[in-house]
Structure 1
Amino acid sequence: MKLVIFGASGRTGRALVEQALEAGHDVTAAVRNPANFPIQHERLQVVKADILDPASVEAAVQGKNAVLSTVGPRKRTLFGAYKPEGLYSQGIKNILQAMQKNGIRRLVCVTAAAADDNYTPPGLYGSVIIPLFMRKLLADMKLMQREISKTNLDWIVVRPARLSDYPRTDEYRISLRPTPKDLATRRTDLAAFMLKELTDTQYLRKLPVIAD
């Protein structure tokens, strides 16, 4: 399968690129600084793209079979001021428009378990960290989820708990609503599940939660 991965330079994105190549896919890593991308492979193409730039997004998706996104904020400051603002909601509009224009149906992307209107994570993470540092980020993720849900594309929005860098286990749990048990998610397991969802239909047009 020919895949384009937005946010490929992040830690989850790099895990996703590596696993996609191991699985035999042809991968295009869409990143802002191609010269800094650390992975090389005969089936990997690294292109310059910014999801806030519609032209570069459209160029990146042309000729692909599916789109994956692990996009995250570039800068973090205090009190929820993640930069650039609107990264998720505006970026996904550009991705969706490019997909529809190029006849691409499958989208697998990431938000967060905390981006659920009816859920607050337990402990200091939910009572302190999110209100002080992640409020705007999660609000923008929710806008992104709503934009995706309005389309008739074959989409899956994967919602991990707090991300960790431990080795892959393939022993993750999947549910449709976050619970207090969903404390952490391995990036490597998240990447594996995203690749599985390229062809699976169980969670089509749903927002599955993944946790250790």
Structure 2
Amino acid sequence: MTSIVVFGAGGRAGRAIVAEAQSRGLTVVPVVRDPARHPDLPGAVPGDVTDPAAVAAIVSGHHAAVNAVSPFSGPDQLARGGLDPDHFVKAADALTGSGVPRVVAIGLFSNLDGAGPLPEQFRAFGDAHTAGLHRLRASGADWVMLTPPASLSLDNPSTGRYRLGGEAAEEGSLSYADLALAVIDEIEKPTLHRTRAAIVSEG
């Protein structure tokens, strides 16, 4: 049976991914910083995706790891200096150095070709994401980064279908449920390796 680890399982994307994996009968280990804050996530374990030793211990024996962690809560956090500019680099290093066979990361739409620049207050976050992508590319691991459009939202209905593109920005919308479909598909039957891909809903 396929077993996966989901870092950032308490967030919107992470919860959808955990639910989709469980619906398919996969063994899932949800990882959050503080399990006590997520009593609705049975079996959640504490962990920091930027901690190499912790990541290696958590993913040992599993088939894949998903990075759905977002350390960014808004421009106020940037103003307070609360964003580590090396967050995504550290996460990439920890995951690709852990020995887990497959890494699936959630990307940022502004990094796609032709997406246009982020507003000034969000650029530090975009730059941090880009640095993490470069570090993934420099690794020898089997990884894929799935990048939703700017209109990723809980309000978007699930269509049960999605379209994977290339590295260029795609017009369209996406639900978290359809993002989760793609993530688990790329674990169970990988089609993309060592690349990123835009993803939008179909239907």
CA shift, 1:5, in A, is 0.5
CA shift, 1:144, in A, is 1.1
CA shift, 1:75, in A, is 3.7
Measured against aligned partners, the alpha-carbon deviations of 1:41-96 in whole angstroms (never above 9, x if no partner) come to 5xxx3110012222222221122111111110154334955623322111221122
Please state whether the residue corresponding to 1:169 is helix, strand or coil.
coil
CA shift, 1:200, in A, is 2.8
Q: Does 1:169 align with 2:159?
A: yes
- After TM superposition, list the pairs within 5 Å mapping 1:1-212 onto structure 2: 1-40=2-41, 45-78=43-76, 83-99=83-99, 104-116=100-112, 118-121=113-116, 130-162=118-150, 163-165=152-154, 166-179=156-169, 181-212=170-201
User: Take 1:36 and 1:69, find their aligned partners in 2: how far apart are those partners?
Assistant: 19
User: Take 1:167 and 1:109, find their aligned partners in 2: how far apart are those partners?
Assistant: 22
Check conservation: 2:77, 2:83, Cα contact below 8 A.
no
Counterpart of 2:56 in structure 1: which amino acid? E
Counterpart of 2:11 in structure 1: which amino acid? G
User: Take 1:113 and 1:26, find their aligned partners in 2: how far apart are those partners?
Assistant: 29
Structure 2: gaps of 5 or more residues = none
TM-score under structure 2 normalisation? 0.86
Q: How many residues align?
A: 196
CA shift, 1:197, in A, is 0.3
Structure 1: gaps of 5 or more residues = none
Check conservation: 2:30, 2:41, Cα contact below 8 A.
no
Counterpart of 2:84 in structure 1: which amino acid? P
Counterpart of 2:64 in structure 1: which amino acid? A
CA shift, 1:38, in A, is 4.3
Percent identity of equivalent pairs: 26
TM-score under structure 1 normalisation? 0.83
Alpha-carbon RMSD across the aligned residues, in angstroms, is 2.1
Check conservation: 1:78, 1:132, Cα contact below 8 A.
no
Measured against aligned partners, the alpha-carbon deviations of 1:2-39 in whole angstroms (never above 9, x if no partner) come to 11011111011001111111110111111101112243
